[in-house]
Chains A and B, each alone.
Chain A
Amino acid sequence: MKKTTFPAFLSTALLIYCFWLLITGQIVAIFQGRASWEVLVAGALVSGFVSLFTARFFIHRNAFYLLAPKRFFSLLAYVFVFLWELTKANVDVAFRALNPKLPVNPGIVKVPADVKAEYGLSMLANSITLTPGTITMDIADENGKTNYYIHWINVKETDPAKAGDAIKGTMEKWIRRIWD
């Protein structure tokens, strides 16, 4: 378990405070000029108190890493890349389910991951799980290389590298651009 550093504490507190502002509707009150400062200060105190205990679970490296402009715009672009992949996969699985013949060919393939950073690895795994048709089942280290085990509803390739190209598509390139 890592110790809590001050930048990690600060970034976690800011994140929790922004989430609180959004969820309670205080952000609208600020823009309309009817927010009372007592409420805002109470929220800041509580989010600081909470982030004292939770910062060490969230932040494992430089806390304000994502705020460099290049990475931030890559993240924004990744949202659209991901939406495109999501649309293709959604239409594919929806028509596969509605097809009277039910053309499924399930299997679990092993796929290498070329991302180094641990946030990047978990982001790629979550993106793969979120696209219908593929679910990441496990991550394993095998003599220095990281592998995903992916359940795939329609196995086209059994070779690891080719299956990786078919599943990950363009997502991996953008994630490497964000986190490496």
Chain B
Amino acid sequence: MRIAIDILIACSVFFAFAGVVGMLRMPDSFCRMQSSTNIATFGVLGVIIGGFLYALTVLHDTSMAVKIAVLGVFYIVTNPIAGHAIAKAAYRHGVRPEKDMTIDKYGEDLEQND
């Protein structure tokens, strides 16, 4: 059981590491946001599931396990809202990638409406 928990948390560390490397290396703002989603989904989920099992089986503390599960549901529910809000606000504020994008339907349609 302990080994399974360790593997879950190590997976989580790996995905968080990949997300951080992506955030440092990606060429423009929107691609960096994609990598930050990587941190917020699998970087969180492994720790949440592993911590839930650890609190149940090793510590025998049910209230801690319930709190960790609530925390995980909270992350999963709120993160896309914040990501969407920041992406839309950044585009409307005038953040553009240095290199041209392959296709930019949103910019074309915004120009037509204005």
- In the complex they form, whether A and B have CB atoms below 8 Å apart is answered with yes
Seen from chain A, the residues whose Cβ lies within 8 Å of a Cβ on chain B are 19, 22-23, 25, 27-28, 31, 86-87, 90, 93-98, 102, 104-110, 125-127, 129-138, 140, 149, 151, 153, 155, 158
A106 CA to B87 CA in the complex, in Å?
14
Chain B interface residue count, Cβ-Cβ cutoff 8 angstroms: 43
**B35 adjacent to A97 (CB under 8 Å):** yes
A25 CA to B62 CA in the complex, in Å?
9
User: How many inter-chain residue pairs (CB < 8 Å) link A and B?
Assistant: 131
For A155, the chain B residues whose CB sits under 8 A away are 102-103
Q: List 29 A-B contacts (CB under 8 A).
A: A22-B67, A25-B63, A28-B62, A28-B63, A87-B42, A90-B15, A90-B38, A93-B18, A94-B14, A95-B18, A97-B19, A104-B26, A105-B102, A106-B101, A108-B107, A110-B106, A125-B84, A126-B81, A126-B84, A132-B38, A132-B41, A133-B37, A135-B34, A136-B87, A137-B91, A137-B106, A153-B31, A155-B103, A158-B103
**B102 adjacent to A107 (CB under 8 Å):** yes
